[in-house]
Structure 1
């Protein structure tokens, strides 16, 4: 394993985040704070508790998870797309490093930025609502696993996209709607029975449910199923990345 190569890619990607601190870190934190003000204070004051948890605290895991997913995809897709766009990807591919090391460098940096952002939002939420985390280990487990999984997904999108417009298609038209419909701001048990069954088709439901369980001990689906679905999506993303490098899809042409 060429750790020097991994470190070089990782440091380059992380330094780009620090150079664009307002866009990479400050903007998502400010946006999430606005969600707390609108949903937690304005709407939450008019809503009863959900599963024994105040509404302001109930939406904390959903907001963190929604930010993790969107930012992980954005960081990873942009990180690999720019070398493709500038033509410097060929220098990376011709270097004496393996595809595994390339993926670890790019995905590791994207996941690291998402984890830092998630922890910052967690700290920021303390200024708006009061809550305790019942299962800190599992909270960190879901935090890291989701960041890595969606960073891999973003890496695939960055390879697939052949223009800046395509970088935003899946995050805006697929991931964000699924996050809003996946129980970020409500429990799916509040829906009519038929819609509860339909909601279970949404994979984001399992991510948010498992993450919320780590906070409050309540979940829409069993936590074991949430972990299994997340690991399954991780395996699918790994398989796609492996296929891309094996075939050279949109890398060698």
Structure 2
């Protein structure tokens, strides 16, 4: 029987989309999610099972759990928490609602998913795969909110790894460097009275820095899945442009 994997955040052009294709190419039964399943119909055409998920809504997560459990007889081999939100704004100008949304997506949603899917993962002696970032280890300028969400994710995952080890459930953190994806496409502008206007050009470059130094997301996905399945098993996988500088 094929092993199963659930991947969040599989919109076209992103890491999750390529991860879904890579797992499928290796014979996995893949469940790919996006806010609207119809946006990933190309994955469905490959035989991937596509489902809608709003990661910030607990009812949506619970409904997804119930659907996966019914299709897999209460078992899940891999949960890949990939859905994420970027927010690159100077700390002096951050918007509290944007902070809340970023934490809801990058931290709280992951905690909910791990909690709700843990019984299925225990049944399969499976693994949780957290898509982290080098930004959670070496923070980048103007990324105080995003950096802190990834640092929180790493710390949470380190603790979760210890707590689930007695049940033979692995927790793997992927420390991601630059990857060419759609995460940096949100347009940001400095306020016209910003104290950073003298270096606005530097700020604008920072917005897309990860893309300029990034590797193709297909290359990233192939390497991550290969390392995830290889022996000996790793607690951390370092992949993406310049990730080796941190490692």
TM-score (norm 1): 0.30
Say which one has the larger Rg. Answer: 1
Higher fraction of strand: 2
Bigger RCO (CA 8 Å, 6+ sep): 1
Higher fraction of helix: 1
TM-score (norm 2): 0.31
